C-alpha cells in the first residue's frame, strides 16, 4: 500500500537516576561515597533505506519509544545507557516537527541509504552522590534524577527519488509506458484515474539504469487539490527529466499540454523549467492522427523534442529511451 504522509510520535528514553551509596568494607568503616551515575536514555532515529518506497510500514506503529537508561549503582558503577530506537523510512523522506498552533518546522530530509536523523534525544543520566563529595561535605547524600527524554510529534512526507517523472492528463498512457519499459506492474485500463498512487519502475537501457515514476492525477486545478494532483505533484520535484505524454487529439493536444505545464508551474516555478520530452502516445490506434498531432505540437512548441510512440507495439520507444539517457547525462553535467 502506498502512503506518502504520516504522523508519528517519538518518545526518547529518560536518563537513569544517580545512586546514593557508600563504600563499606571490613577495615574501612567510613568509606567515602561511591554512588554511580545513571545511564543516558536512548535516542529515536529515522534511518533511510532503499528497501522501502512507502511510509506504510511506519504508519502501522506510529508510536516510537526508546528505552530509559539504567540507574547508577554502588562502587561507582554507571548505569547502562538505554538502547536507541531506529525505524527505516524510504529515501526522500522529509521530516517536520508538528508544533501546535504554529507552522511545522523542518528537521531534515533523508536522501541516502543508511543516513540517520535523530528526532528525539534521550535524557542524560543523573549523577550519583560520589560526584558531590567536597572538602566540606565528605558524605553527601545528594543525587540527581535522570533527565526526561525528548518527546516530539513529527510529520513525515515522502518525495520519491526518481530520475524521470512521467506526467500527463489522466488516460494519456503513462501506466502503459512504465509497464512496457520496466518491470513495474501498474493497473492499466481505458478510463481516467486508473492509477491512484505513484508507481516506480527501474529501466535498464544500453548499460544505464534509471528510475521512472508514473505521477497520477494531473488535471486542471491540480495545484489547488483537484483530482489527485495535489497529493502527488511533490513527487515531480526531485526528478531530473519529465516525460510529458499527450494523446493523439490533433489541435486539442496543445491545450492538454498547456494544462499540465500550467499546473506544474503553479505548484513550483522550477518544475516549469525542468528538462522534458514530449511524446504523443497510442500511435498503434491511429498512426495518422498520432503523426499529425506530433507535427502540430512540434510546430507550436519551439525547441521541444516531440516524439511519437506506442507502448503496445514498441514504436518510438528506442528513441525515447535514448533521449531520456541524454537528458539525464546532461543534468548530471
The domain segmentation of the chain, as residue ranges, is: 5-158, 164-332
CA atoms within 13 A on the CB side of 281: 24
pLDDT beyond 90 at 67:
yes
Q: What is the pLDDT of residues 15-50, one digit of tens each?
A: 999 999 998 887 777 789 999 999 999 999 999 999
| CATH code at 5-158 | 2.70.210.12
Q: Are strands 199-205 and 276-280 parallel, antiparallel or unpaired?
A: unpaired
pLDDT beyond 80 at 129:
yes
End-to-end CA distance of the chain: give it in Å, rounded: 36
216 or 17, which is more confident: 17
Contact 287, 309 (CB under 8 A): no
193 or 134, which is more confident: 134
The pLDDT of residue 6 is 95
pLDDT beyond 80 at 222:
no
CATH architecture of the domain with residue range 164-332: 3-Layer(aba) Sandwich (3.40)
Contact 174, 201 (CB under 8 A): no
Q: What is the pTM of this model?
A: 0.75
Contact 122, 9 (CB under 8 A): no
The pLDDT of residue 75 is 93
The pLDDT of residue 186 is 53
Q: What is the pLDDT of residues 197-209, one digit of tens each?
A: 778 888 999 999 9
218 or 277, which is more confident: 277
Q: What is the pLDDT of residues 258-281, one digit of tens each?
A: 988 888 888 777 777 788 899 999
The pLDDT of residue 221 is 53
The pLDDT of residue 172 is 85
Neighbours of 261 (CB within 10 A): 19
The pLDDT of residue 190 is 44
Query: Which strands sit side by side in the sheet containing 85-90, from one edge to the other?
Result: 85-90, 44-49, 116-120
From residue 309, alpha-carbon distances to 23, 238, 284, 288, 318 in Å are 84, 25, 8, 12, 9
Q: Considering the chain, what percentage of its residues have pLDDT values greater than 90?
A: 62
The pLDDT of residue 307 is 96
The whole-angstrom distance between residue 20's C-alpha and the CA centroid of its chain comes to 47
Domains 5-158 and 164-332 share a fold: no
The pLDDT of residue 284 is 94
The pLDDT of residue 191 is 38
| Helix residue spans in the chain (DSSP H) | 56-59, 174-181, 229-232, 252-267, 269-272, 287-300, 317-332
Which 8-state DSSP code applies to residue 123?
P
The pLDDT of residue 185 is 67
Look-up of cell digits 535516542:
43
The pLDDT of residue 192 is 41
Return phi, psi of residue 98, to 5°.
Answer: -85, 120
88, burial (CB in 10 Å: exposed 0-12, middle 13-18, buried 19+): middle
Q: What is the pLDDT of residues 93-117, one digit of tens each?
A: 999 999 988 899 999 999 999 999 9
The residues pairing with 158 across neighbouring beta strands, listed in sequence order, are 93
224 or 233, which is more confident: 233
pLDDT beyond 80 at 150:
yes
146 or 232, which is more confident: 146
The pLDDT of residue 264 is 83
Contact 105, 99 (CB under 8 A): yes
Contact 312, 175 (CB under 8 A): no
Amino acid at each position: 500500500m502506498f502512503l506518502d504522509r504520516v504522523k508519528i510520535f517519538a518518545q526518547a528514553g529518560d536518563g537513569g537516576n544517580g545512586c546514593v551509596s557508600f563504600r563499606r568494607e571490613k577495615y574501612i568503616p567510613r568509606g567515602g561515597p561511591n554512588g554511580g551515575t545513571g545511564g543516558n536514555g536512548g535516542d529515536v532515529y529515522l534511518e533511510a533505506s532503499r528497501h522501502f518506497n512507502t511510509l506504510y510500514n511506519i504508519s502501522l506503529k506510529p508510536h516510537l519509544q526508546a528505552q530509559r537508561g539504567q540507574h547508577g549503582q554502588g562502587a561507582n558503577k554507571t548505569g547502562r545507557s538505554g538502547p536507541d530506537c531506529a525505524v527505516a523510512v524510504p529515501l526522500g523522506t522529509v521530516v517536520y516537527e508538528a508544533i501546535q498552533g504554529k507552522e511545522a518546522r523542518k528537521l531534515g530530509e533523508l536522501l541516502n541509504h543508511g543516513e540517520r536523523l535523530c528526532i528525539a534525544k534521550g535524557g542524560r543520566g543523573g549523577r550519583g552522590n560520589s560526584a558531590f563529595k567536597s572538602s566540606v561535605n565528605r558524605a553527601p547524600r545528594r543525587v540527581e534524577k535522570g533527565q526526561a527524554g525528548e518527546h516530539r510529534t513529527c510529520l513525515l512526507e515522502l518525495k520519491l527519488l526518481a530520475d524521470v517523472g512521467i506526467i500527463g492528463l489522466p488516460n494519456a498512457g503513462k501506466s502503459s509506458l512504465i509497464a512496457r519499459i520496466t518491470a513495474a506492474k501498474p493497473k492499466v485500463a481505458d478510463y481516467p484515474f486508473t492509477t491512484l498512487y505513484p508507481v516506480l519502475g527501474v529501466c535498464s537501457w544500453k548499460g544505464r539504469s534509471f528510475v521512472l515514476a508514473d505521477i497520477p492525477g494531473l488535471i486542471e486545478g491540480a495545484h489547488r487539490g483537484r483530482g489527485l494532483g495535489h497529493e502527488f505533484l511533490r513527487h515531480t520535484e526531485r526528478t531530473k527529466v519529465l516525460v510529458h505524454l499527450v494523446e493523439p487529439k490533433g489541435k486539442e493536444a496543445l491545450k492538454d499540454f498547456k494544462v499540465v505545464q500550467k499546473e506544474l508551474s503553479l505548484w513550483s516555478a522550477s518544475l516549469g523549467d525542468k528538462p522534458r520530452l514530449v511524446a504523443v502516445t497510442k500511435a498503434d490506434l491511429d498512426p495518422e492522427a498520432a503523426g499529425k498531432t506530433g507535427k502540430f505540437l512540434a510546430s507550436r512548441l519551439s525547441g521541444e523534442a516531440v516524439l511519437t510512440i506506442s507502448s503496445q507495439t514498441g514504436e518510438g520507444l528506442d528513441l525515447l529511451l535514448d533521449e531520456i539517457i541524454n537528458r539525464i547525462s546532461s543534468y548530471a553535467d
